[in-house]
């Protein structure tokens, strides 16, 4: 053996002996004797007491381990409990040899039973604010030692269990508790990815987190993108985050795909509401499963969201789907979204709507949504409900107050009976609801409740719809309908209002100015060639009427703060003209109005003898001035065998009725009107409670007096001023229309 080898062997033996001796010395030391020294050093640095009531031990080996048990650290003097932190056990196992070069490599770190309390006082000062070390001791530090950071320790594995982290806000009184049942974190080194597996609770609600992120070096030093691949489960939801971050410490350079999904949105919202009471009043219907995903780029101050995919609900119930991107989600700008809603059953939304919702046929609504300058546009709108469809474009403007909406809509078919709530499409014509009973006991038809004029000022609108076919709830079909509604600062205008119905056409305009203290109404309706028989048949009312081409001429102007006030000051004209046709003598039953049925029974001597009444013409013409609707011989019916003529008035202010009707036999028709039938039939009472009776004493005496009676509002004069029997009118329809009829003196 060479001399050099002998020297090296001796040195090695000596080193081993020194190490063995050192280990023996360390093992002979009772480290519990240093608990007081450690507590003294901590108090000098923090001003608070540290107590180690358990064992303080050092296990010497190639991987020595430090074990500390029963540690408590004092809370602030004003704290809610004496201890800020309580620890059952802390164990750290390090590699011995790297310590020689100054590297700290922790093989395993175990923390068990930590109870940490963080709280603030009424002024917002936290219990983590502590006294600093003695300034004189700080001054003794050698130059270069201040702020000098040692090498970062390498921790390969961390195991934490039974940890409670509590935060109490002394100003709001709120408390948050995070529990860690189990946490395992591992990495092979500072440059290796960190694996995580965490299970715990948040305010008693369980959660879990698992996955992998970048290395500690990437987090602290930067220079490369920090990868993230995590999945969390909490509050009946699963949240996933996958991607990378350029600057993780500042959360800048985000490129993350974030997803949230769950089996029951209602359960997730309810779980969140338990933790966030501020949103407890938000109601979410039981729509079922949901999935939300998107790619987030940028930073918290400036980010974009793309690849949006949202699915909420079920197709057999209601399913909402959204795709697209938002360039600036923080300001809700740069929207480019495609939205669709489809379903077959909306009953799940009944509670949200405050009552039962109607049963709808299968439906689907789809559109593209984008933002414009101070507003939004809904383009490519396509909606189907059963057989009905609607398409078009809408623009919502928020530039001014109130907001405005523009819409251009088209439809091939709108079956309102299929869309509207059950019952709205009943084919039968029901009797009107009982009139409102006023406090004074009188029954009125026209309500005195204030009109909701403020609703006309809530928004501005310009909406047009063109529909090839519209089916009303009562079954009446409208063809080639063109409607435009404009609402501007409380002024409503409907122009045009055009449609084809029962072989005829109806055109009109309606304006309602609610910008002031009362509504100002101006409406004009003109109808031409509407087939009355076809109309009744289309509405499934009765098929006993044939023919009867009908024209309408309605022009009304009025003003008032309620319907009653509007009617009391109404001016204008109502004129209905019916052409040739025939009506079964039982057909008037469909009207459902007792007054009409009684009137027909009393004045039609053929009702029980013949199956049909053959109509040559019929006219109803009321001229309205200041709430008085007058018909001076303005009601006329011409049949093959008799004429029926009526005069009277309706006081729209009081709703009073005084109307007289008398039949006139045509010469040579073979109709005998002697007896009670020849008497004048009288309609009196009110619109709410009309009455019908015969007035033999008031049989027509002086036609000339009728105009005077009506002009002066003297309805009681009707009995003395109607329909002279000695001046039978051969053309009462022309008379009713205000045209000069041919007259002849009837036989005595």
Long-range contacts of 498-502 (CB under 8 A, 24+ apart): 499/470, 501/476, 501/477, 501/530, 501/535, 502/476, 502/530, 502/531, 502/532, 502/534, 502/535, 502/538
- Give the range among 145-154, 310-319, 336-345 with minimum mean pLDDT: 145-154
pLDDT reading at 505 higher than 70? yes
pLDDT of residue 19: 46
- The model's pLDDT over 442-477, given as tens digits with 9 standing for 90+, comes to 688 999 999 988 889 999 999 999 999 999 888 889
Work out the pLDDT band at 197, boundaries 50, 70, 90: very high
* 417/5: higher pLDDT: 417
Average pLDDT over residues 528-546: 81
Euclidean distance between CA atoms 135 and 309, whole angstroms: 59
pLDDT of residue 310: 97
* 557/141: higher pLDDT: 557
Average pLDDT over residues 688-717: 49
pLDDT of residue 747: 42
User: How does DSSP assign 518-586, residue by residue?
Assistant: SEEEEEEEEEEEEEHHHHHHHTTS-S-EEE-EEEEEEEEEEEESBHHHHHHT-EEEEEEEE-SEEEETT
Q: Which residue has the tokens 């993230």?
A: 228
- Give the range among 2-11, 408-417, 602-611, 738-747 with minimum mean pLDDT: 2-11
Euclidean distance between CA atoms 70 and 83, whole angstroms: 12
* 191/602: higher pLDDT: 191
- Give the range among 453-462, 498-507, 714-723 with minimum mean pLDDT: 714-723
* Number of neighbours of residue 574 by Cβ within 10 angstroms: 19
pLDDT of residue 109: 82
pLDDT reading at 59 higher than 80? no
Distances, alpha carbon 93 to alpha carbons 100, 111, 155, 180, 190, in Å:
16, 12, 9, 22, 17
Question: Do the Cβ atoms of 253 and 231 come closer than 8 Å?
Answer: no
Question: Do the Cβ atoms of 696 and 679 come closer than 8 Å?
Answer: yes
pLDDT of residue 225: 92
* Number of neighbours of residue 71 by Cβ within 10 angstroms: 23
- The model's pLDDT over 655-669, given as tens digits with 9 standing for 90+, comes to 998 888 887 777 655
Average pLDDT over residues 549-564: 95
Average pLDDT over residues 380-389: 95
Euclidean distance between CA atoms 362 and 418, whole angstroms: 11
pLDDT of residue 64: 67
- The model's pLDDT over 149-169, given as tens digits with 9 standing for 90+, comes to 455 566 788 889 999 999 999
pLDDT of residue 100: 54
pLDDT reading at 685 higher than 70? yes
Q: Which residue has the tokens 């690849």?
A: 307
pLDDT of residue 467: 97
pLDDT reading at 702 higher than 90? no
Question: Do the Cβ atoms of 205 and 271 come closer than 8 Å?
Answer: yes
pLDDT reading at 273 higher than 70? yes
pLDDT reading at 624 higher than 80? yes
Q: Checking DSSP bridges between strand 460-471 and strand 404-411, what pairing results, if any?
A: parallel
The dihedral built from the CA positions of residue 298, 303, 305 and 311, taken in this order, carries a sign that is: positive
- Give the range among 551-555, 585-589, 674-678 with minimum mean pLDDT: 674-678
Euclidean distance between CA atoms 240 and 259, whole angstroms: 5
Tokens of 722: 């109607």
Average pLDDT over residues 193-208: 93
pLDDT of residue 299: 92
pLDDT of residue 65: 72
Give the percent of the chain with pLDDT over 90. 44
Residue 253 neighbours by CB under 8 Å, 6+ apart: 225, 245, 246, 247, 298, 299
Euclidean distance between CA atoms 466 and 427, whole angstroms: 25
pLDDT reading at 305 higher than 70? yes
**Three-class HEC string of 343-400:** ECCCHHHHHHHCCCCCCCCCEEEEEEEEEECCEEEEEEEEEEECCEEEEEEEEEECCC
Is 411 in a helix, a strand, or coil?
strand
- Give the range among 14-18, 342-346, 546-550 with minimum mean pLDDT: 14-18
pLDDT of residue 593: 42
- Give the range among 16-20, 265-269, 397-401, 551-555 with minimum mean pLDDT: 16-20
Phi, psi for residue 250 in degrees, rounded to 5: -100, 0
* Number of neighbours of residue 648 by Cβ within 10 angstroms: 26
* 706/88: higher pLDDT: 88
pLDDT reading at 110 higher than 80? yes
Work out the pLDDT band at 585, boundaries 50, 70, 90: low
Give the percent of the chain with pLDDT over 70. 74
Closest Cα to residue 527, out of 593, 579, 455?
579
Task: Indicate left, alpha or beta for 17 from its phi (over 0: left) and psi (-120 to 50: alpha).
Answer: alpha
pLDDT of residue 542: 67
Euclidean distance between CA atoms 228 and 221, whole angstroms: 16
Closest Cα to residue 172, out of 277, 271, 279?
277
pLDDT of residue 97: 57
Average pLDDT over residues 575-591: 73
Mean pLDDT, all residues of the chain: 80
pLDDT reading at 579 higher than 60? yes
* 719/415: higher pLDDT: 415
pLDDT reading at 73 higher than 70? yes
Closest Cα to residue 517, out of 561, 555, 479?
561
């Amino acid at each position: 053996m060479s001399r050099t080898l002998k020297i090296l062997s001796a040195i090695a033996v000596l080193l081993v002996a020194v190490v063995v001796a050192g280990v023996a010395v360390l093992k002979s030391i009772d480290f519990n004797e240093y608990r007081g020294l450690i507590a003294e050093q901590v108090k000098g640095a923090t001003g608070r007491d540290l107590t180690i009531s358990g064992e303080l031990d050092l296990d010497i080996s190639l991987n020595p381990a430090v074990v500390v048990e029963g540690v408590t650290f004092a809370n602030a003097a004003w704290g809610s409990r004496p201890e800020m932190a309580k620890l059952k056990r802390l164990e750290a196992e390090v590699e011995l040899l790297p310590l020689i070069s100054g590297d700290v490599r922790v093989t395993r770190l175990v923390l068990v039973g930590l109870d940490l309390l963080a709280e603030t006082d009424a002024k917002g000062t936290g219990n983590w604010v502590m006294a600093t070390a003695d300034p004189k001791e700080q001054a003794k530090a050698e130059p270069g030692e201040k702020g000098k950071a040692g090498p970062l320790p390498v921790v390969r594995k961390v195991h934490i269990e039974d940890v409670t982290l509590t935060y109490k806000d002394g100003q709001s009184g709120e408390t948050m508790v995070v529990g860690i049942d189990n946490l395992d974190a591992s990495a092979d080194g500072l440059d290796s990815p960190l694996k995580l597996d965490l299970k715990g609770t948040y305010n008693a609600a369980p959660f879990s987190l698992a996955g992998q992120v970048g290395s500690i070096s990437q987090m602290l030093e930067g220079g490369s993108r920090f990868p993230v691949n995590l999945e969390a489960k909490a509050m009946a939801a699963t949240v996933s985050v996958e991607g990378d971050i350029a600057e993780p410490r500042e959360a800048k350079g985000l490129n993350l795909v974030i997803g949230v999904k769950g089996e029951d949105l209602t359960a997730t919202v309810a779980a969140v509401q338990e933790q966030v009471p501020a949103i407890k009043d938000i109601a979410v219907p039981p729509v079922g499963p949901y999935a939300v995903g998107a790619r987030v780029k940028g930073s918290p101050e400036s980010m974009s969201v793309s690849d949006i995919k949202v699915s909420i609900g079920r197709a057999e119930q209601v399913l909402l789907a959204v795709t697209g991107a938002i360039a600036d989600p923080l300001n809700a700008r740069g929207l480019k979204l495609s939205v669709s809603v489809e379903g077959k059953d909306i009953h799940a939304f009944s509670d949200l709507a405050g009552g039962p919702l109607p049963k709808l046929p299968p439906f689907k609504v789809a559109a593209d949504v984008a933002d414009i300058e101070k507003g939004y546009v809904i383009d490519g709108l396509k909606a189907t409900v059963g057989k009905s469809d609607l398409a078009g474009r809408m623009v919502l403007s928020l530039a001014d107050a109130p907001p405005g909406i523009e819409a251009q809509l088209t439809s091939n078919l709108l079956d309102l009976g299929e869309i509207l709530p059950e019952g709205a499409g009943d084919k039968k014509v029901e009797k009107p609801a009982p009139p409102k009973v006023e406090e004074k006991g009188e029954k009125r038809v026209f309500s005195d409740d204030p009109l909701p004029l403020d609703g006309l000022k809530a928004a501005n609108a310009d909406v047009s719809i063109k529909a090839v076919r519209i089916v009303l709830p009562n079954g009446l079909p409208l063809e080639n309908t063109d409607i435009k509604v404009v609402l501007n600062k409380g002024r409503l205008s409907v122009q045009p209002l055009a449609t084809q119905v029962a072989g005829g056409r109806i055109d009109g305009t309606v304006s309602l100015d609610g910008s002031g203290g009362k509504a100002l109404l101006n409406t004009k309706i003109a109808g031409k060639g509407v087939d009355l028989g076809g109309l009744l048949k289309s509405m499934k009312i009765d098929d006993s009427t044939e023919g009867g081409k009908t024209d309408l001429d309605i022009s009304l102007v009025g003003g008032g703060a309620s319907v009653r006030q509007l009617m009391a000051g109404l001016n204008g004209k109502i004129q209905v003209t019916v052409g040739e046709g025939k009506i079964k003598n039982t057909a008037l039953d469909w009207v459902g109005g007792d007054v009409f049925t009684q009137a027909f029974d009393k004045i039609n001597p053929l009702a029980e003898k013949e199956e049909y009444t053959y109509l040559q013409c019929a006219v109803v013409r009321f001229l309205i001035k200041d709430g008085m609707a007058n018909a001076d011989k303005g009601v006329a019916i011409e049949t093959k065998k008799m004429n029926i003529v009526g005069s009277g008035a309706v006081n729209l202010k009081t709703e009073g009725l005084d109307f007289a009707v008398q039949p006139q036999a045509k010469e040579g028709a073979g109709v005998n009107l002697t007896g009670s039938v020849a008497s004048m039939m009288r309609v009196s009472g009110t619109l709410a409670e009309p009455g019908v009776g015969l007035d033999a004493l008031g049989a027509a005496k002086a036609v000339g007096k009728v105009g005077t009676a009506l002009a002066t509002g003297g309805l009681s004069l009707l009995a003395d001023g109607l329909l002279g029997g000695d001046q039978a009118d051969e053309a009462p329809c022309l008379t009713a229309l205000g045209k000069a009829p041919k007259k002849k003196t009837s036989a005595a």
